[in-house]
């Protein structure tokens, strides 16, 4: 039996992603330096002092894609979990362009 709520959620995010809503596509361009990337991803410095090299990071919902890419650029083993194939495709394209490896998983967070 299909999960109607999950299917509705997937369809909604697919529509938003295909309409290129601001929060479904990469926004801006992060700096090249490690410190600059951290500031771009974490402007309030909530992760200050957290060692990312070798850390395991799970991103729940892809968003515009920069966060998982930056985590990977900073040395984290990064996985993105999202219900939307289009959102995962966006992250895959960004990761390919930025030459980082990210594990992408499509599924329902329920």
pLDDT digits (tens, 9 = 90+) for 17-37: 999 998 899 999 999 999 999
Higher pLDDT: 2 or 40? It is 40
What the block records as the tokens of 52 is: 């990312």
How many structural domains are present in the chain? Answer: 1
The parent domain of residue 59 ranges over 4-106
* pTM greater than 0.95: no
Residue 1: its pLDDT value, please? 58
- Give the CATH number for residue 41: 3.40.50.150
Mean pLDDT of the chain: 94
State the first-to-last Cα distance of the chain, in angstroms, to the nearest integer. Answer: 15
Residue 106 bridge partners (DSSP): 82
Digit-coded pLDDT (tens) for 42-56: 999 999 999 999 999
């Amino acid at each position: 039996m299909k999960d109607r709520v999950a299917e509705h959620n997937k369809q909604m995010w697919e529509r938003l992603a295909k309409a290129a809503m601001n929060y479904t596509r990469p926004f801006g361009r992060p700096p090249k330096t490690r410190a600059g990337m951290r500031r771009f991803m974490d402007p309030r410095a909530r992760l200050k002092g957290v060692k990312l090299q070798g850390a395991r990071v799970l991103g729940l919902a892809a968003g515009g894609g920069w966060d998982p890419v930056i985590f990977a650029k900073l040395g984290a083993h990064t996985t993105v979990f999202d219900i939307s194939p289009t959102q995962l495709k966006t992250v895959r394209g960004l990761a390919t362009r930025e030459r980082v490896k990210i594990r992408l998983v499509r599924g329902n967070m329920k």
